[in-house]
Each structure stands twice: as structure tokens, then as C-alpha cells.
Amino acid sequence: MQPIRRLAMISLHTSPLDQPGIGDAGGMNVYVIELAKRLARQGIEVDIFTRATSSGLPPVVSACDGVNVRHVHAGPFEGLTKDELPGQLCVFAREVLRAEAAQPLGHYDAVHSHYWLSGQVGALARDRWGVPLVHSMHTMAKVKNAALALGDTPEPTARIIGEEQVVESADMLIANTDLEAKQLINLYDADPGRVEVVHPGVDLSVFRPVDRDTVRTELGLPRDAHVLLFAGRIQPLKAPDVLLRAVAALLAGDPGLRSRIVVPVVGGPSGSGLDRPESLASLARELGIDDVVRFVPPVSQADLSRWYAAATLVAVPSYNESFGLVAAEAQAAGTPVVAAAVGGLTTVVRDGHSGLLVEGHDADEWARALGRVLGDPALLARLRDGARAQARQFSWEATAAQTLDVYARARSAMRESVA
């Protein structure tokens, strides 16, 4: 087989150029652009197709050498929610096919789609172009609906049906963890032979330990404070309220801690959190801890690394995570993680070594876990060392190498099915 020369990536509902932590932009955005960059370094030309959300966006943006982001006009530029995007699939798919038709025959060698909406378009491109489709789910409706946060909205039946169709159509499916692979097989009846586990990575050149005192001074944080950081989109699924309730319980049990605790919340409202963008700030006031909570707008990857490095602990209380890039990035910065024992977090965080895993979302249980680390300097020091060691297991270079193997398997699988 000839090597992969050109790859079409499809990320319909969110652009890899968007700032993570705003709207629908999050870990998947980081995944798409970081993987594309590493593939480009292997000599592969990557075109990323995404929906244009502004009339001012140029048709094509070069993200780096070998990676172009193509803005597809499909539906109104603004005001279209993710739940309304299925109505634009036909238009988006037509424009993707039109872009390929303007190129010489056989322009793309494979399609890699991200999230189920993109998978629907990818399946059509696969059949039209005669190239294999590799699909990454990132999140799955059946999994999310089984672990809904209080006040969150269940994923619709249409999405479940759409995901089942994509699973059936894809030549290969990439799962972030062993658990996600099992969920694809058990919940979506995926063929085990078409599911491959490839861990996402961390940019270890960006997320790395730095002097904690120095970065705290730069960020306006007390050097001697217990800094308990939440980073991510503010929505019920990510459960930042669990951290706030745990801090309130911690302070109720030990009021003397109040003068030494700071709780930065770095991120913006997203998903169902957009309906009540001030709800977390209101909760902090209701709990009587608004004096220790700091709300910080989404920041660049470089600045996020500084926040991680400044923290004593990073809390990831999500109800579900397919992987948990925040946990991986925090550990790379040398900061232990206290995380919910769900989804990919059980792979990313090594319990008792790089952080602690907490069963459930009870505020008192979380308060005990936080207090256990804050009250034991020797344990905190061991977890810091373990966090750095754990993060070294994940790199985007390894992700790209394994993904290339999956592309090769997809091409073989497609040839066999045709034969």
C-alpha cells in the first residue's frame, strides 16, 4: 500500500482554532489540532473541515505547515446550537464533497471524523471517495445519559441513532481508553476487530513544572495558599459545583483553613451551562465561599499550564470523561489531581500515585479527599512526583504513530470488504 499522503479530518461542530473552555470548545479541539500537527510532521497533508461561525473567517487558514483548516458555510454563522446542527449536515456534506471534487482524482487517502455529527459526513465521504473512514467518538450519548448530572439534559434519541449508524459505517473506531473500547462494543455493538485504543497525548513542552512561588506571584496568588483549581467548561457534566460544595464542607469542618484557601475556576459557560451562566457564582455566594473563589476567563494553553503549575491540586469532578485531558495536562505540570472515578479518568490518574480517585460526587467525600492531601505534606510531595511520572506516559507523538497504524488497518479492512 502507498503511504497516507493526504488526510481529510472532519470536526463539524467545533473548530480546532477555537479557544478551549468557551462554548463547545474543549478537549476535542486540542485533540484534533495536536494530532494534525504531529501527522503533518510525518509528511502528511491534513485538511480539517469545520463549520464557519463568522462571515469574517477566511475560507482556509493555515494552522501550521501541512495543516489547513477549511471553513465550510453551513447554516447561520451565529446562534445555532449543537442540537440544531443535524439540520445542516446535508449542506455541510455537500460543501465538503465539492471541495474534494475541485482537486485531482484520489486527492484524499483517508477520512478521520471526530464526534458523531462529523461521522455522518465522514461516512458519506468514505463512500463517495472510496477511501477508509476512521472515527473517534470523543463522547457517547448512551454513556452520558447513564451518568447525568443534576439538572442536565439527556442526549436525544436522534443522536443515539446517529452514533449507531457511524459505528456501523466506520472502517476503524479509535477509543481513548480500554473502558471506551468496551463501551463501544457493549453499548453500540461495535466489531471488536474494528476498535483500537489510542490514548490522547500531552504537549510536554507546554505543560511542564515551573517554579511554583514565581508563577503564583505572577498570577496574584498567595505563595502559602492551598490553591484548588478547576479548569474546563462550566456546565453540569463537568461538575464544578461539586468542588465548590466540597470546599464549603472542608471549611465548615476547619474554619481556620479559610485564610489559606483559594479556588480558581478557569473556563467559561458551555452546553446546558449557557442557560444559567451565573449559576456557579450564585452557588459560591449561597455557600458563603465567594471570598475564596476566583472566576478566570478561558486562557491560552501556555497560560493554562501556569495555572496548573501554581495549583496545589487540580480537581476534575466530572460525571463522565472519555479521557480527561485536564487531568493529564495538570499532572504534566507536576500537580496532583483529585478526580471522579469515571470514564477515562481512571486511566489518566493513578490512584494514590499521581492523585486520588473519588467514587461518586458526594461533597463530604470530596472534602475528605481534598483534606487528606492538604493535611499531609509527605503525601502531597509523593503525589507531585507521581504526577510527573504518570504524565510521561502520554505524548502526542505516540498518539500520532499509533493513529497512523489505525489508518493502515482501516485501508486493509476496506479493501477486504470490497473484495
Q: Which residues contact 322 (CB under 8 A, 6 or more apart)?
A: 137, 138, 139, 140, 176, 177, 180, 343, 344
Helix axis angle, 240-253 relative to 363-374, nearest 10°?
A: 70
Annotated binding site for UDP-N-acetyl-alpha-D-glucosamine: 19-20, 27, 233, 238, 299, 321, 329
Sign of the Cα pseudo-torsion (152, 157, 163, 168, in order)? positive
Sign of the Cα pseudo-torsion (287, 292, 297, 300, in order)? negative
Q: Which residues contact 148 (CB under 8 A, 6 or more apart)?
A: 154, 236, 319
Annotated binding site for Mg(2+): 308, 311, 335
Annotated binding site for 1D-myo-inositol 3-phosphate: 13, 24-29, 82, 115, 139, 159
C-alpha cell at 241: 459545583
C-alpha cell at 29: 479541539
Annotated binding site: 13, 19-20, 24-29, 82, 115, 139, 159, 233, 238, 299, 308, 311, 321, 329, 335
Q: Residue type for 89, please?
A: L
CA dihedral 177, 178, 179, 183 (to 10 degrees): 100
Question: Which H or E run includes 255?
Answer: none
Distance CA 376, CA 9 (A): 47
Q: How many residues does the chain have?
A: 419
In terms of Cα–Cα distance, which of 240, 199, 388 is closest to 309? 388
Distance CA 35, CA 28 (A): 10
Distance CA 306, CA 35 (A): 23
Q: Count CA within 13 A, CB hemisphere, residue 323.
A: 23
Q: Enumerate the H helices of 130-208 as residue ranges.
A: 141-146, 157-169, 178-188
Structural contact between residues 228 and 335, judged by C-beta atoms closer than 8 angstroms: no
Distance CA 344, CA 327 (A): 10
Q: Residue type for 136, please?
A: S
Residue 3: DSSP 8-state: P
